[in-house]
């Protein structure tokens, strides 16, 4: 088996990675690190992060949910399962703790693990009818204004049918996986990750009757920016940004392929919800 490892470049990742690499090599497992992870662990590698999904049978992500999201975008289309290991507090995506790491790695090496498939979104940005950018995300596509900008107008259609003009600070277009991220903070619904849906959630709408709406994941959403002279951006998974201009069109739909997440057999979605959101505390 070939194991790729990508870690967040901070302590205690250095010790965790170096010990895991040693443990895997003792079991005759091929290990691949990206250059940044190798430097953190005091090891050597010539692989770029974007190359790891192409040489691995399984990718181990050591960090937090943010690190996991960046790897999910890289792994899209490679059909390689991802195991998320959290360095600190339990994450919605990195749900394996350091204490559980080696027990679960034993199961991975023996093929005794369960994979959860998660839908992603693809976003296309058009300017004057020409496609100028495209992205894929696991959590969300967010159109939002800059800090000092006024309310923006977002003309929104679903499958070619007019929905509304959102006058708001922005609009979140989310997967069920992303329902527990920014969308939740903006008052959106929590959705079970396997539900085939897309969430539209306006951010601080001027009209309070404009509420979040859940759509089938077969829908294509189009958002036209009608506001001039304001700082407006598309943000992908909260990590990548693209500046919009008036009359730019953003198209969002379910991506053709899913990503595979190796599940922690000791934990389920409801337990993660209770832990993260402190239900019953």
- Is the same domain home to 199 and 249? yes
Catalytic residue among 34, 65, 169, 237: 65
143: tokens are 């159109």
**Which range marks the domain in which residue 149 is found?**
121-254
- Residue 158's pLDDT is what? 98
Same domain, 129 and 226: yes
Confidence band for 32, pLDDT divided at 50, 70 and 90 = very high
Same-domain pairing of 204 and 224? yes
- Domain shared by 135 and 214, yes or no: yes
Does one domain contain both 133 and 56? Answer: no
Number of CB atoms found within 10 A of residue 108's CB: 18
Q: In what order do the strands lie in the sheet with 152-158?
A: 130-137, 121-127, 249-254, 221-225, 152-158, 161-168
Same domain, 244 and 269: no
Domain count, the chain: 2
CATH of the domain at 104: 3.40.50.10330
For the entire predicted model, the pTM comes to 0.93
Residue 65: active-site member? yes
Q: Within this chain, do residues 225 and 114 fall inside the same structural domain, yes or no?
A: no
In the predicted model, is pLDDT for residue 11 greater than 80?
Answer: no
Q: Are residues 112 and 137 in the same domain?
A: no
């Amino acid at each position: 088996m070939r194991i790729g490892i990508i870690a967040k470049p901070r302590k205690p990742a250095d010790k965790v990675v170096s010990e895991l690499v040693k443990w895997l090599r003792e079991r005759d497992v091929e290990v691949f690190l990206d250059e940044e992870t190798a430097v953190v662990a005091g090891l050597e590698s010539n692989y770029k992060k974007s190359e790891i999904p192409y040489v691995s049978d399984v990718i181990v992500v050591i960090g937090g949910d943010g690190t996991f999201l960046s790897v999910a975008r890289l792994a899209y289309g490679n059909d390689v399962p991802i195991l998320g290991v959290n360095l600190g507090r339990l994450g919605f995506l990195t749900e394996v703790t350091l204490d559980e790491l080696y027990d679960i790695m034993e199961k991975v090496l023996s093929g005794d693990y369960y994979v959860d498939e998660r839908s992603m979104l693809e976003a296309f940005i058009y300017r004057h009818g020409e496609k100028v950018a495209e992205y894929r995300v696991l959590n969300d596509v967010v159109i939002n204004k800059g800090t000092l900008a006024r309310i923006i107008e977002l003309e929104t259609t679903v499958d070619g049918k007019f929905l509304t003009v959102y006058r708001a600070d922005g609009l979140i277009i989310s997967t069920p996986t992303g329902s527990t991220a920014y969308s939740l903070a903006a008052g959106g619904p929590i959705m079970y990750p396997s539900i085939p849906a897309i969430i539209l959630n306006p951010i601080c709408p001027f009209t309070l009757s404009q509420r979040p709406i859940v759509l089938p994941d077969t829908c294509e959403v189009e958002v036209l920016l009608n506001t001039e002279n304001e700082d407006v951006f598309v943000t992908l998974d909260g990590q990548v940004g693209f500046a919009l201009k008036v009359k730019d069109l953003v198209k969002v739909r379910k991506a053709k392929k899913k990503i595979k997440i190796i599940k922690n057999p000791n934990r389920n979605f409801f337990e993660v919800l209770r832990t993260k959101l402190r239900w019953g505390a």
